[in-house]
Amino acid sequence: MNVDVLVVGAGPAGLAAAIELRRLGIGRVLVVDREQQAGGIPRHSAHTGYGLRDLHRVLTGPAYARHYAEAAARAGAEIRTGTTVTGWAGGRPAGPAGAQPAGRPVTITSPAGLETIDAAAVLLATGCRERPRPARLIPGDRPPGVLTTGELQQRVYLRGERLPGRALILGAEHVSFSAMVTLAHGGADVVALVTEQPRQQSYAVFPLAAAVRWRVPVWTSTAIRRVTGRGRLAGVELADLRTGATRVVECDTLVLTGDWIPDQELARAAGISIDPGTRGPAVDTALESCVSHVFAAGNLVHAAETADVAALGGRHAARHIAAALRDPPPAGARRVPARRVPVTVAAPLRWISPNAVRVPLVPPPRGRFLLRSEIFRRHARLEVRQGGRLLATARASLIPARPVHLDASWLAKVDQSGGPVRVLLG
């Protein structure tokens, strides 16, 4: 089966891209997703606050997911759910030094069987997930009752399960407070949110609401040392990082929030370079990877931003995919990857996305780069440098797990044949 664009992932980024591709006149757009319904994570995030930046109105998660799924179908995109991309047919796509004038063939698996899709361009929008307990190396017994936020939301909002008893949440960022609301909806008594950081990392109103409305405290500078319980979860041993004191808190449910990892297995199989900071595909400001005509967008490249930011990234990628398809190489010629200038950060900054400047110059989504920090610092001074030249400075408040926006107005000063651009604290 031949298509113009294959979009892998039917979350906000993938669906927004499909809508934009069809609006721009791209003929056949196929969106595939392994879930049984399109819409991504917002399907089981019942709280409000979705759609502010992209739709300019506020919706609940399920309503937001329905909007994008229905809009993509109306736009003429073909959406196949319950469908998994299992690999690149005939091996991985050609990398920067290779020649591949044909499309990007992939193999998909669904209840209908195996099928090969030959796409002129591919957009990877597979999102991200929270690290489960084994990846966090939390020792102790292995009883049921230890969940990630995604598992929790699916059980409560999609399957209608009740989770009575005492619950503890590991994390104190945006999604942690969302997990608290979900647990309350499921009938749990939330004991506390626990974070190793010296302060919570969400908006100040969230812990205030947690304390006033639900009487849930945030225990800072506190680490989980082990989990106990055999037939069921019995408790969690906590350690105060300031004093070293330990205690055991009885609970029936432990929810692990944050600590995101992009779903980058398909990107790795394609031979796409993985950025060591974001741990997702390295992309330039057009959101194209090092493999020509393979793009990546959404929380695959910046885990984890809000759904509307992911959707706007999908639109951005769609515009550049459409431009690439309108200007193909001559018949039989090699696809030459675009030139790019790498963009990196210095500790204590953790990562930046996109990871390269496209040449000729292309601004990033929304005209800004996204950064993360490993430390708290108010009124930090950021410097953008290329070699010995200072390209720009900016002020920002740094909070771990919270986005820092760096305006891209300095792009015109980049030496397009020069070395990497580096962002650091001044």
Residue 421 is predicted with a pLDDT of 98
Q: Say yes or no: 311 and 296 in one domain.
A: yes
Residue 63 is predicted with a pLDDT of 97
Q: Say yes or no: 159 and 117 in one domain.
A: no
> What residues have CB less than 8 Å from 276, skipping those under 6 apart?
none
Q: Say yes or no: 357 and 303 in one domain.
A: no
Q: Say yes or no: 314 and 407 in one domain.
A: no
Which of 335, 361, 396 represents a domain boundary (last residue)?
335
> What residues have CB less than 8 Å from 61, skipping those under 6 apart?
41, 42, 43, 44, 45, 46, 47, 48, 50, 307
Which of 292, 317, 335 represents a domain boundary (last residue)?
335
pLDDT per residue, tens digit, the chain (426 aa), is: 999 999 999 999 999 999 999 999 999 999 999 999 999 999 999 888 999 999 999 999 999 999 999 999 999 999 999 999 999 986 556 555 443 434 679 999 999 999 999 999 999 999 999 999 989 999 998 899 999 999 999 999 999 999 999 999 999 999 999 999 999 999 999 999 999 999 999 988 888 988 888 899 999 999 999 999 988 999 999 999 999 999 999 999 999 999 999 999 999 999 999 999 999 999 999 999 999 999 999 999 999 999 999 999 999 999 999 999 998 766 666 666 689 999 999 999 999 999 999 999 999 999 999 999 999 999 999 999 999 999 999 999 999 999 999 999 999 999 999 999 999 999
> What residues have CB less than 8 Å from 399, skipping those under 6 apart?
201, 373, 376
Q: Say yes or no: 99 and 171 in one domain.
A: no
Q: Say yes or no: 248 and 164 in one domain.
A: yes
Structure tokens at 45: 């995030």
Residue 118: give the domain boundaries: 1-130+260-335
Q: Say yes or no: 329 and 359 in one domain.
A: no
Which of 233, 256, 279 represents a domain boundary (last residue)?
256
Q: Say yes or no: 116 and 136 in one domain.
A: no
Q: Say yes or no: 45 and 34 in one domain.
A: yes
Q: Say yes or no: 141 and 125 in one domain.
A: no
Q: Say yes or no: 284 and 329 in one domain.
A: yes
Kindly write down the DSSP assignment for every residue of 31-60, as one continuous string. Answer: EE-SSSSSS-GGGG--SEEESTTTTSS-EE
pTM of structure: 0.93
Identify the CATH number of the domain in which residue 45 sits: 3.50.50.60
What is the number of structural domains in the chain? 3
Q: Could you give the residue ranges of the DSSP H alpha helices within 226-306?
A: 265-269
Q: Could you give the residue ranges of the DSSP H alpha helices within 259-412?
A: 265-269, 307-326
Q: Say yes or no: 206 and 269 in one domain.
A: no
Q: How far is 268 from 272, CA to CA, in rounded Å?
A: 6
